């Protein structure tokens, strides 16, 4: 029997469809995996199902009946529970207070005592144990997730949506979670499991729906499919473009990383014991699904995040733990991810942004005074060289399109003779023209002798630009290979944490 059916779901954000005609069905007692790359529309779809977004078109059927879900409250009433990737818990409150929050039927006085008693029941039944009086901010990620599960179950969830549930868990915690989920489905509950990790899908799910760019790329029964087939569905098999890279012998070593361990925001190591090097005139491409330590690696290399331990040598100088400005002086440049947030100051002009990393030094600053004319001249030269539109140094950077913001950042960072360029998702969200432009500039810098560390989820891009390719998974490089005759599907498997054949 079908527990849930979605028909023709469509949702646009600013004219761009995040979901486009999606059909999905889940049978009772089934673990259904929703698989796809980042930005494929998985989370949007589940937020629609949970009433956080309204769909522009399409219908939702629960237990065969059409359901109007306008708010999470409606979803809860229909027995739908969701555990978000970023937990929706109140850090200062206790676990029991979080359970009591917004719960129907709790007593008016001392609701947390009542919640604590209910928590005991679920601890016994599913092995979901969390101390009721513990403040949430003191709980580990795994415990917080358990608390989210308890919250959903106490609200009577019969269909659980889990968004990337293992991304914050250790292996042991993930195994525990899987055991709990199996116990739940054995009692007739259904689970939708959002992930991009192929190995988990094969291990846990019964049925799989693959999303790609907001559409259903295919569905499969887990028993009848292979990780390879799923990888093809996720990316879409397009022929690999011939590498435009000129072959050239790399120069001396510019970056050497040894034993690098970097903690993520949650305190667990995001990068563990990493060791690699990049040479002058070489592009090292780091492929991998976001959230496997790439951001933390880039931040450590550019001075934004202090590594726990390990060594980062730039042209022989130890640079671990130095700040951004010191690293810049060593020739490190950064083309950051989330460019509107980390790359430019949106409320400042193009001219001000053009000198953002150098405003304190001549010729832009003399005796503590900024030289507006010099900044303007600098911006005009960037605008001319990089074709930034609109061609106005006074324009607010935040009003520029994504492609033009990236041109501005690239112009600022690639200026002069950089020793190392750390480029993170440099073409993410850009149109074809801007993408080409950015890639050509990176290859140009490589030809001029810069070492380039390219971090990207776009396998196509990594294969086209890199001299060597590393696959990053859970804070480590699974493999570093020369970029010659690499099999895309095998890399895809590695990105999902699978073992090489």
The residues of the shown chain that bind other proteins, judged by CB under 8 A, are 13, 50, 52-54, 71-73, 76, 82, 84, 88-93, 97, 100-103, 106-112, 135, 137, 151
- Provide φ and ψ at 384, rounded to 5°: -70, -50
Smaller CB separation from other proteins, 93 or 489: 93
- Alpha-carbon distance of 317 to 452, in angstroms, equals 18
Tell me how far, at minimum, the Cβ of 92 lies from other proteins, in Å: 6
Smaller CB separation from other proteins, 72 or 250: 72
CB 146 within 8 A of CB 129: yes
Token pair of 424, please?
A: 């993170």
Tell me how far, at minimum, the Cβ of 73 lies from other proteins, in Å: 4
Contacts of 391 (CB under 8 A, 6+ apart): 383, 384
Smaller CB separation from other proteins, 211 or 486: 211
Smaller CB separation from other proteins, 149 or 442: 149
Smaller CB separation from other proteins, 133 or 394: 133
- Alpha-carbon distance of 257 to 274, in angstroms, equals 7
Q: How many CB atoms lie within 10 A of CB 222?
A: 17
CB 300 within 8 A of CB 387: no
Tell me how far, at minimum, the Cβ of 43 lies from other proteins, in Å: 10
Which neighbouring-strand residues pair with 452?
283, 421
Token pair of 429, please?
A: 């969200």
Tell me how far, at minimum, the Cβ of 136 lies from other proteins, in Å: 10
Smaller CB separation from other proteins, 29 or 346: 346
Closest by Cα among 291, 268, 273, 294 to 142: 268
- Provide φ and ψ at 360, rounded to 5°: -90, -5
Smaller CB separation from other proteins, 82 or 255: 82
Tell me how far, at minimum, the Cβ of 101 lies from other proteins, in Å: 5
Tell me how far, at minimum, the Cβ of 172 lies from other proteins, in Å: 27
Smaller CB separation from other proteins, 71 or 221: 71
Smaller CB separation from other proteins, 97 or 164: 97
Smaller CB separation from other proteins, 80 or 278: 80
Q: How far is CA 20 from the centre of its chain?
A: 21
CB 136 within 8 A of CB 90: yes
Tell me how far, at minimum, the Cβ of 453 lies from other proteins, in Å: 29
- Alpha-carbon distance of 394 to 352, in angstroms, equals 9
Tell me how far, at minimum, the Cβ of 320 lies from other proteins, in Å: 27
- Alpha-carbon distance of 5 to 22, in angstroms, equals 10
Tell me how far, at minimum, the Cβ of 100 lies from other proteins, in Å: 6
Token pair of 445, please?
A: 């810098």
Which neighbouring-strand residues pair with 34?
194, 209
Tell me how far, at minimum, the Cβ of 113 lies from other proteins, in Å: 10
- Beta strands 2-13 and 57-62, pairing class: antiparallel
Q: How many CB atoms lie within 10 A of CB 471?
A: 27
Tell me how far, at minimum, the Cβ of 232 lies from other proteins, in Å: 29
Smaller CB separation from other proteins, 227 or 291: 291
- Alpha-carbon distance of 94 to 322, in angstroms, equals 38
Closest by Cα among 213, 162, 271, 228 to 458: 213
- Alpha-carbon distance of 293 to 168, in angstroms, equals 11
Q: How far is CA 213 from the centre of its chain?
A: 15
- Alpha-carbon distance of 363 to 186, in angstroms, equals 70
Closest by Cα among 322, 283, 318 to 300: 322
């Amino acid at each position: 029997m079908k527990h849930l059916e979605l028909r023709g779901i469509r949702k646009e954000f600013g004219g761009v469809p995040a979901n486009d005609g999606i059909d999905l069905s889940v049978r009772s007692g089934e673990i259904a995996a929703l698989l796809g790359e980042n930005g494929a529309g998985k989370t949007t779809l589940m937020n629609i199902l949970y009433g956080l977004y309204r769909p522009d078109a399409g219908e939702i059927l629960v237990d065969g009946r059409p359901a109007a879900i306008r708010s999470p409250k409606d979803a809860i009433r229909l027995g739908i529970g969701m555990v978000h990737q970023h937990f929706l818990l109140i850090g200062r409150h206790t676990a029991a207070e979080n359970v009591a929050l917004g719960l129907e039927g709790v007593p008016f006085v001392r609701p947390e005592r009542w919640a604590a008693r209910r928590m005991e029941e679920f601890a016994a039944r599913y092995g979901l144990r969390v101390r009721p009086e513990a403040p949430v901010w003191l709980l580990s990620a795994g415990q917080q997730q358990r608390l989210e599960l308890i919250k959903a179950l106490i609200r009577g969830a019969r269909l659980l949506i889990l968004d990337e549930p293992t991304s914050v868990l250790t292996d042991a915690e993930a195994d525990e979670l899987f055991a709990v989920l199996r116990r739940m489905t054995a009692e007739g509950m259904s689970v939708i499991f959002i992930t991009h990790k192929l190995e988990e899908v094969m291990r846990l799910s019964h049925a799989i729906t693959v999303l790609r760019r907001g559409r259903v790329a295919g569905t499969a029964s887990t028993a009848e499919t292979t990780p390879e087939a799923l990888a093809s569905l996720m990316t879409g098999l397009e022929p690999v473009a011939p590498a435009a890279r000129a072959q050239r012998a790399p120069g001396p070593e510019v970056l050497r990383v040894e034993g690098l361990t970097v903690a993520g925001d949650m305190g667990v190591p995001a990068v563990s014991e990493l060791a690699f090097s990049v040479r002058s005139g070489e592009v090292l491409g780091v492929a991998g699904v976001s959230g496997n330590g790439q951001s933390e690696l880039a931040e450590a290399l550019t001075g934004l995040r202090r590594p726990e331990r390990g060594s980062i040598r730039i042209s022989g100088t130890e640079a671990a733990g130095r700040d951004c400005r010191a690293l810049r002086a060593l020739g490190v440049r950064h083309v950051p991810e989330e460019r509107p947030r980390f790359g430019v100051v949106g409320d400042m002009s193009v001219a001000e942004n053009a000198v953002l990393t150098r405003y304190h030094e001549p010729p832009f600053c003399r005796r503590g005074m900024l030289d507006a004319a010099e900044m303007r001249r600098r911006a005009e030269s960037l605008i001319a060289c990089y074709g930034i539109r609109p061609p106005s140094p006074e324009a607010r950077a935040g009003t520029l399109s994504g492609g033009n913001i990236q041109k501005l950042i690239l112009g600022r960072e690639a200026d002069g003779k950089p020793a190392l360029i750390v480029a993170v998702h440099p073409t993410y969200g850009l149109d074809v023209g801007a993408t080409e432009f950015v890639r050509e500039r990176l290859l140009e810098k490589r030809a001029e002798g810069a070492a380039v560390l390219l971090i990207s989820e776009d396998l196509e891009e990594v294969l086209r630009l890199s001299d060597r390719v590393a696959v990053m998974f859970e804070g480590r490089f699974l493999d570093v290979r020369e970029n010659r005759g690499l099999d895309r599907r095998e890399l895809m498997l590695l990105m999902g944490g699978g073992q090489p054949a």
